[in-house]
Chain A
Amino acid sequence: MKYVGIVGSNADLSYNRYLLNFIKKQYSDLFELDIVEIKDIPMFNQDNDQTNSQPIQELNQKILAADGVIIATPEHNHTIPASLKSVLEWLSFKIHPLENKPVMIVGASYYDQGSSRAQLHLRQILDAPGVNAIVMPGNEFLLGRVKEAFDENYNLKDQGTIDFLQSVLEKFNAFVSLVNRLETPEDKPLPEEDLYSSEPIASTIEGVDMAAEDWVEQAAEKVGAVEGDTYVKLNRGILTVDQINTFLASMPMELTFADENNQFLYYNYTKEAEDMLADRVPGQVGNPLVLCHPEAALKNVGWVVQQLRAGNQDVVRIHVPTHGPDKFVVHNYQAMHDEEGNYRGINEYILDFKPIVDWYLKQTGLKLEGDIDATSGASQAEEVEVDAGSGASVKS
């Protein structure tokens, strides 16, 4: 689950901010929480429509993309702060990102009552037709006497409160699943992925056989691709093609680019197939993904691409345990999007996490706890026949 947490205060010091930070840290196994601030959002004024300003649009996009929203509200004069109300007015004026969004309310205040009246007002506000959020019923979380509630590391002191908060948040998870099921009455199956890359997109180089061993050379000639010391202007900088190559070759991972038409267009070729974590050969570049995988793996490949294209997941990670105990190799399939948010293919990066973890442990003096059984993964081996980017399937 991915939630947005709105700090309902624009003050420099806010206990509601501490509360959200604590929730993010303490319950990270329940959900991911993206904490957003409202202090840059101007006072709502219907004469001066700021809906398209950056801070409002950013909040809008984040809420739209989230599975749910947690609002932490202070109480001022028995109601929610003006700054929070202003945000909700913007979000119910020309845009309505909270519509049908599951929302949970928490609140902290100096007083015993812990923002109870503000929370009730907030419920009424969220229920108004322009907002139309779906607020979790019951389950109030009121944190009174906040000045005594946190220790010097901004953790809640009282174990009973921590446990209660956990139970409320678990209920919110269940509530979000329920609401999302209500909102999508039938699970529409995602459209089949075309692993044959048969629908050219604007950037597809047409007229060259995708399966050709020398696709790169033929395609380069066809479009007059630049190389060598020609400069390329990038966001943000200028490099020669040689410099780009040097740069990508130095990345401590195997990088692969497949476009949104499922065509394998690039990998950072530095090693021969037998020395790679997932083997690719130069002649494969240009292939549709269907040619990069054994028959048995295609179903999984299609599934991964579906998730990324649909935005169900930003990244699909698969641990491949077949490299022995000295490595922890992970295949990461990261969705790529252009500036407008359109799906633009997969960035597959494959790397061994173990040296990173080892380095971290050495630097911090920390030790891993518990049984580490990451490498005896014979039973997992079947599941890992997924190599959506390109290349053959995982070595086994």
Chain B
Amino acid sequence: MKHLIGLVGTNSSQSTNRKLLQFIKANFQKEATVELMEIKDFPVFNKPADSVLPEIVQEAAEKIEKADGVIISTPEYDHAIPAALINALNWLSYDVYPFVDKPVMITGASYGTLGSSRAQAQLRQILDAPELKARIMPSSEFLLSHSLQAFDEDNRLKDSEQIEKLSGLFADFLVFVDLVNQLVQAHESNKKEAANFSWENI
């Protein structure tokens, strides 16, 4: 069975994005295992000259490295992804490259009607940066709007259409993971490229 990381894209304790990932984990447990990853305790990234990674970052990098894929669920703050998530991605591309060629599915939840669409669009561009270079599942979007009202008391999504859409995307994602894994030819060189890539020397 495939093992996925569910990256909670916020440091907020009351997150509907966390709820969404918890729902995914519970709902699809027969298809894959999903392990939630929190970013709240990542220190503030400040380009440390010595490139020594905090332990928590190292652990996260290893887990992502080992996983078959990552689902990132992002809130939207000011039409963009939260600083806390940018922060985590900054760390996870600084002398470690766990995202290179990693299959990624993006979901997002927002209180309003747009369901974090703008944050998701930016996240795609971010994951495309040379040191991240993730394989983002194309032409797929899961936008959970009005997220405060979206769950019942058992933390299940209320709307069956939403569940159906999510099930489809999740099944597609598992296929996408296999597809990406067939594209391994270039993987080693991609890794090397990312590791050799240095903004300092460009």
Asked if residues B78 and A131 are in contact (CB atoms below 8 Å), the reply is yes
In the assembled complex, A127 has its CB within 8 A of some CB on chain B: yes
Asked if residues A44 and B83 are in contact (CB atoms below 8 Å), the reply is yes
B-chain residues with CB within 8 Å of residue A396 when the two chains form the complex: none
Asked if residues A77 and B89 are in contact (CB atoms below 8 Å), the reply is yes
Which of B43-51, B154-162, B169-177 interfaces with chain A?
B43-51
Chain B contact patch, size range: 20 to 34
**What is the chain A residue whose CB lies nearest that of B76?**
A128
User: Which of B12, B47, B90 is packed against the most chain A CB atoms within 10 Å?
Assistant: B47
Which of A117-125, A218-226, A364-372 interfaces with chain B?
A117-125
**What is the chain B residue whose CB lies nearest that of A110?**
B199
In the assembled complex, A83 has its CB within 8 A of some CB on chain B: yes
- How far, in Å, is B36 (CB) from chain A's closest CB? 18
In the assembled complex, B52 has its CB within 8 A of some CB on chain A: no
- How far, in Å, is B139 (CB) from chain A's closest CB? 20
**What is the chain B residue whose CB lies nearest that of A131?**
B78
In the assembled complex, B84 has its CB within 8 A of some CB on chain A: yes
Which of A84-92, A164-172, A185-193, A204-212 interfaces with chain B?
A84-92
Instruction: Give how many A-B residue pairs fall within 8 Å (CB-CB).
Output: 107
Which residues of A (102-130) have their CB < 8 Å from a CB of B?
Answer: 109-111, 117, 121, 124-125, 127-128, 130
Task: Identify which of A78, A83, A128, A131 contacts B126 (C-beta below 8 A).
Answer: A78
Q: Chain B binding site: helix, strand, loop or mixed by DSSP?
A: loop
Asked if residues A77 and B12 are in contact (CB atoms below 8 Å), the reply is no
Given A110-B199, A124-B79, the answer on whether A12 and B45 have CB atoms closer than 8 Å is no
Asked if residues A11 and B47 are in contact (CB atoms below 8 Å), the reply is yes
Task: Identify which of B49, B83, B118, B132 contacts A89 (C-beta below 8 A).
Answer: B83
Task: Identify which of A10, A13, A82, A117 contacts B125 (C-beta below 8 A).
Answer: A117
- How far, in Å, is A392 (CB) from chain B's closest CB? 57
In the assembled complex, A203 has its CB within 8 A of some CB on chain B: no
Docked complex Cα distance between A78 and B126 (Å)? 5
Docked complex Cα distance between A128 and B49 (Å)? 34
B-chain residues with CB within 8 Å of residue A79 when the two chains form the complex: 80-81, 86, 122, 125-126
Docked complex Cα distance between A166 and B93 (Å)? 36
Asked if residues A128 and B46 are in contact (CB atoms below 8 Å), the reply is no
In the assembled complex, B14 has its CB within 8 A of some CB on chain A: yes
Asked if residues B45 and A77 are in contact (CB atoms below 8 Å), the reply is no
B-chain residues with CB within 8 Å of residue A80 when the two chains form the complex: 86
In the assembled complex, A39 has its CB within 8 A of some CB on chain B: yes
A-chain residues with CB within 8 Å of residue B126 when the two chains form the complex: 77-79
Q: Chain A binding site: helix, strand, loop or mixed by DSSP?
A: loop
In the assembled complex, B186 has its CB within 8 A of some CB on chain A: no
Docked complex Cα distance between A89 and B49 (Å)? 26
Given A10-B44, A82-B45, the answer on whether A130 and B78 have CB atoms closer than 8 Å is yes
In the assembled complex, A45 has its CB within 8 A of some CB on chain B: yes
In the assembled complex, A76 has its CB within 8 A of some CB on chain B: yes
Asked if residues A76 and B79 are in contact (CB atoms below 8 Å), the reply is no
In the assembled complex, B68 has its CB within 8 A of some CB on chain A: no
Asked if residues A128 and B87 are in contact (CB atoms below 8 Å), the reply is no
In the assembled complex, B202 has its CB within 8 A of some CB on chain A: yes
- How far, in Å, is B129 (CB) from chain A's closest CB? 4
In the assembled complex, B38 has its CB within 8 A of some CB on chain A: no
In the assembled complex, A43 has its CB within 8 A of some CB on chain B: yes
In the assembled complex, A46 has its CB within 8 A of some CB on chain B: yes
Asked if residues A77 and B202 are in contact (CB atoms below 8 Å), the reply is no
Identify the B interface with A (CB < 8 A).
Answer: 11-14, 40, 44-47, 49, 77-84, 86-87, 89-90, 93, 118, 122, 125-126, 128-129, 131-132, 199-200, 202
For this complex, 12 residue pairs linking A to B, each with C-beta atoms less than 8 Å apart, are: A10-B46, A13-B49, A45-B12, A47-B14, A76-B90, A78-B125, A79-B81, A82-B87, A82-B90, A85-B83, A127-B79, A131-B78
Identify the A interface with B (CB < 8 A).
Answer: 9-13, 39, 42-47, 76-83, 85-86, 88-89, 92, 109-111, 117, 121, 124-125, 127-128, 130-131
User: A79-B125, A86-B87, A121-B80 known; 19 other A-B pairs, CB under 8 Å?
Assistant: A10-B46, A44-B82, A45-B11, A45-B84, A47-B12, A47-B14, A77-B86, A77-B131, A78-B125, A81-B86, A82-B87, A83-B46, A86-B83, A88-B78, A89-B82, A109-B199, A110-B199, A111-B199, A128-B78
Instruction: Enumerate the 3 nearest inter-chain pairs by beta-carbon distance, A residue then B residue, closest first.
Output: A82-B87, A86-B83, A85-B83
